[in-house]
A and B are shown apart, each in its own frame.
Chain A
């Protein structure tokens, strides 16, 4: 067991480094390949974590060992060798480039179309440029402003150090460590992510975005995000980036937990554009994400908006547990699958409290040979008197080699509840296309326009600047799929 020995040595090294004040060159650090208890310990000690968190990780790891990968999703991929993954490397091992001249010209073309400033392009493409001045100053002003309001917004590893009580209280409270295979894995090995805490009666004055945490961009395959919003407070959180990230990682298994107290509101928006693999389905990211919000308080509201255009495989069901009376859950989703992409995405709305209300609007777009599945569960529990759900699933097919599937599960245990489900499947008609062409729009423009029209109900839920880029992005994702 060479690998194990190597780990033990590493752990020992790290352990002794602490005594001397822990000064290490983070750039070169990497845990050995594979996963075992020592790796979990290694990660925890790297992050200088308290014992309770290490124990929590180890418990999750043990649970994970007993679990099986879920096989019910309509996705097909070769079995993942979990011993063939690096679970810790900081920052992520991307090949560093010296200038934009070394970047894949295709990628640059896309950046250009999205109108992304040069500096940002360099950052996204992984060009080794020193942004310390920029990002530090941005982050600092930004944090000062938030701190004045009592809002905490920091990497979760930092929150573990500075706000351990909050983290301890809420981590795993929405998504138990043994919730599912990937969530258990994440609980054992998560490396970083975001932490947000909004105290009582505060409306967060700006959209919180991972964008502002430029230096934390490389938080790894196993991100963990925790957002807690107290009574009468509000936050809007933007995740991701509209530009394609040059990321070679195969597996992304993130966990996002949201907690909303009485009259609190959380709006969580995602634009996911990871590398989808090439036209023949070679390469690309496996995006296996568990996201769930707990509407713990009465009249609380959690709203998920997602635009999913990237990844080879998307397995993702941002959900709401509507525990508080009169709480509201919303899910707005656009999932684009082109070429050989596979998407199995949807939501769960679990109605527990009285008069809880949920809305699901899902727009699936399939092109090329892609398969796109909406999978959703609406559960109305016994005490959820007067609960209401409205679900609308629309699928748009481009070409005749792709597929769209809608799999709704409805469990209703309360006579006074009302559940509505509507589903449509349509194609971009030749008439629509010709009408646009005759007005001088080219095929790409026309497709983008029609598809964005199809997604409008979801797009209008996105913050303005985000929506504009997401629109362009959908157009780019579908390039070459018509005509």
Chain B
């Protein structure tokens, strides 16, 4: 059984068809990349999967670990192990990063029947993970994403992923706004999470990120459908010829 199963997903926004029958099957231990030009429906796909208000399926089905997501709210999906690393992480003024992280982690732990972290144990764990991502203690004392640099925001996203230990992670344009050094740190952070028990979906415009996070499968999304699937070599083809050729051929 696959960990994430998308069956013929269709979605409209403002009466406009955005997803027109996306189907995808993702197994444990796999990394899938979804590439596509602007406006192909990549971000919509990530919002639809994570259950954002207004992004309900018109038809089709999604299963996370065999369980249908249709009737689950965004927070239930998150607690069940679906994680979205945001393209533009949102600022929460006055909300300390460390306490935010702790609330999030404990919500998930409680849901899956694990003991909640007490304050000290949590800080210890968070610091351990943070140091792997070169995230300084000082940053965790600040408010969530407030005054964070582009690199810090993305590092914090991946730190949350590491702490939440989701079953399926969707990384939405995680490479945007990153310099080469930050890109390497963030990618290493993601790679460290790869395991036989989870799956990762990388959404990106560019092949660049896929040099660091090497996918098992690459899918090309255009006008709300997957027009081509293949191995890592597909990303190189995009890099060489652009999307236009592929779209025309499809």
Contact = CB atoms under 8 A, between A and B. Distances in A.
B108 interface: yes
Contact of B93 (A430, A437, A442, A453): A453
Given A434-B52, A434-B53, A441 B103 contact: yes
B119 to A, nearest CB: 12
Contact of B74 (A429, A437, A454, A456): A437
B117 interface: no
Interface string B64-79: 0000000001110011
Contacts of A245: none
Contacts of B249: none
Contact of A435 (B73, B86, B111, B164): B86
Given A437-B74, A439-B100, A440-B78, A454 B94 contact: yes
B160 A439 contact: yes
Interface string A416-445: 000000000000011110111111111101
Nearest to A429: B90
Contacts of A45: none
A456 B95 CA distance: 8
Given A439-B164, A440-B75, A456-B94, A445 B107 contact: yes
A438 B84 contact: yes
Given A440-B111, A445-B103, A452-B95, A431 B90 contact: yes
A435 B104 CA distance: 11
Nearest to B74: A437
Nearest to B75: A437
A204 interface: no
B95 A450 contact: yes
Given A434-B52, A440-B104, A453 B143 contact: yes
Interface centre among B50, B74, B100, B103 (most CB of A within 10 A): B74
A449 B100 contact: yes
Given A441-B103, A445-B107, A436 B94 contact: no
Contacts of A429: 90
B89 interface: yes
Contacts of B50: 438
A455 interface: yes
B78 A438 contact: yes
Q: Return the 10 tightest CB-CB contacts between A and B, nearest first.
A: A453-B94, A456-B94, A453-B95, A439-B104, A440-B107, A435-B90, A440-B78, A437-B74, A440-B79, A437-B75
Given A445-B107, A449-B103, A453-B143, A438 B74 contact: yes
Contacts of B93: 453-454
Contacts of A452: 94-95
Given A438-B74, A440-B78, A449-B103, 15 more contacts: A431-B90, A435-B86, A435-B89, A437-B73, A438-B83, A439-B78, A440-B108, A440-B164, A441-B75, A441-B107, A442-B75, A449-B95, A450-B92, A454-B93, A457-B94
Contacts of A445: 103, 107
22 contacts: A431-B90, A432-B90, A434-B53, A435-B89, A435-B90, A437-B51, A437-B73, A437-B74, A437-B75, A438-B86, A440-B78, A440-B107, A440-B108, A440-B111, A442-B75, A442-B107, A449-B100, A453-B95, A453-B143, A454-B93, A454-B94, A455-B94
Nearest to B54: A430
Contact of B92 (A430, A442, A453, A455): A453
A445 B90 CA distance: 17
A442 B73 CA distance: 9
A461 B249 CA distance: 65
Contacts of A455: 94
Contacts of A456: 94
A431 B83 CA distance: 16
Contacts of A441: 75, 103-104, 107
A332 to B, nearest CB: 14
Interface residues of A, number: 24
B111 A432 contact: no
A474 to B, nearest CB: 12
B160 to A, nearest CB: 7
A165 B79 CA distance: 64
A443 B86 CA distance: 19
Interface string A224-246: 00000000000000000000000
Contacts of B107: 439-442, 445
Interface string A110-149: 0000000000000000000000000000000000000000
Contacts of B51: 437
A435 B89 CA distance: 8
Interface centre among B94, B108, B111 (most CB of A within 10 A): B94
A445 B103 CA distance: 9
A450 B143 CA distance: 11
Nearest to A363: B94
Contacts of A431: 90
B109 to A, nearest CB: 9
Interface string B91-119: 11111000010011001100100000000
Interface in A382-432: 429-432
B96 to A, nearest CB: 8
Contacts of B84: 438
Interface centre among A449, A452, A456 (most CB of B within 10 A): A449
A455 B93 CA distance: 10
A26 to B, nearest CB: 46
Interface centre among A429, A431, A441 (most CB of B within 10 A): A441
A437 B74 CA distance: 6
A182 to B, nearest CB: 34
Contacts of B108: 440
Nearest to B94: A453
Contacts of A437: 51, 73-75, 78
A137 to B, nearest CB: 32
A454 B144 CA distance: 12
A438 B79 CA distance: 8
A256 B64 CA distance: 59
Contacts of B160: 439
A121 B56 CA distance: 44
A440 B110 CA distance: 11
